[in-house]
Amino acid sequence: MTPTPGLQGDNVALTSDPRHSGSGVGASPSDFLLSLRGISKSFGAVQAMTNVDLDIPEGQVTALIGDNGAGKSTLIKAISGIWAPSSGTMYWRGNEVHIHTPRAASELGIATVYQDLALCDNLDIVQNMFLGMEDTKFGLLDEITMELATVQTLKDLAVSTVKSVRQRVESLSGGQRQAVAVARAVMRESKLVILDEPTAALGVSQTAQVLALIKRLASRGISVLVISHNLSDVFAVADRIAVMYLGSIVSSGPIANYDTTSAVEIITTGASHHAASSASIK
């Protein structure tokens, strides 16, 4: 995809593809799977997020980009129930929700792969994949079912380099661990999968696999929110872009409104000096 800098505002459809119809000024949260309004988060004196508005449509890939320390991880941790925002409102399909615990997030259908991979090194792949949502039979762990499902999921994702699903995660390479973490998020029937830099540790072919996987998720109707520093990855998979700068979303819209140059500019300066795309900046 070679997008041209957007000529129109966020609220104007650029192409006839309905998936590219954007949100915009006055967009209603009920049009989206998840909408954030005015989310802020401070850690003591550090204001990590200020007044974040973000809309995540159903079945699309939204890329969240921004410089180191812009607050991307802080934002997705708020969506995932790791910490409650200091202020602001979240809407799930138009209804106000309070996601204060990881369990609340997963009950809504949000599955997250964290940048600091949340895996237990001392447990094996199967145990990690099912952690917190184990299959049971008569109240006891059903290892066979879980192992079969793990093997199947890894096969679906074309992860073929692990020797045994019963090996401990500590013995895996960085890419294999990433694959396990992604597989874990995919395996539950999620409505929104959040990936924080899923390809950061991966080699070329594994990166391609993860990107293909992201597209496959979207084509199954699952929304994906992906954080990445790699703009070519972003332009390869994303339907929409949201740029974070110093704790705020400074620009968002369909991918067609951006190109690499304008994206880099917004990431680094918080604004684009391309007159052409300025309309998409809040």
Could you list the residues that contact other proteins (CB under 8 A)? 80, 82, 101-103, 106, 112, 114, 118-123, 127, 131-134, 136, 139-141, 144, 147-148, 151, 154-155, 160-165, 168, 170-174
Give dist(CA 86, CA 83) in Å, integer.
Answer: 9
C-beta closer to other proteins: residue 168 or 216? 168
Using CB under 6 A, list all residues that contact ligand ATP: 43, 46, 48, 66, 68-74, 115
Contact 244, 71 (CB under 8 A): yes
Smallest distance, ligand ATP to C-beta of residue 197, A: 7
Cα(215)–Cα(117) distance, rounded to whole angstroms?
22
Q: What's the min distance (Å) between Cβ of 137 and other proteins?
A: 10
Residue 70 contact, options ligand ATP, other proteins, Mg ion, none, Cβ 5-8 Å cut-off depending on partner type: ligand ATP
Q: What's the min distance (Å) between Cβ of 134 and other proteins?
A: 5
From the CA atom positions of the chain, what is the Rg in Å? 19
Burial (Cβ within 10 Å: 0-12, 13-18, ≥19) of residue 208? middle
Q: Residue 74 touches which of other proteins, Mg ion, ligand ATP, none (CB < 5 to 8 A by kind)?
A: ligand ATP
Q: For ligand ATP, which is the closer residue by CB, 125 or 194? A: 194
Contacts of 5 (CB under 8 A, 6+ apart): 257, 258, 259, 261, 262, 274, 276, 277
Nearest one of 21, 26, 45, 22 to 37, comparing CA atoms: 26
Cβ neighbours, 10 Å, residue 245: 19
73 binds Mg ion (CB under 5 A): yes
Tell me, by CB under 5 A, how many residues bind Mg ion.
Answer: 2
Q: Which stretch binds Mg ion (CB under 5 A): 2-10, 57-65, 115-123, 164-172?
A: 115-123
Least distance from Mg ion to the Cβ atom of residue 75, Å? 9
Which of these, 265, 135, 264, 118, lies nearest to 195 by C-alpha position? 118
Q: How far is the CB of 66 from Mg ion (least distance, A)?
A: 9
Q: Under the rule (CB under 5 A), what is the footprint of Mg ion?
A: 73, 115
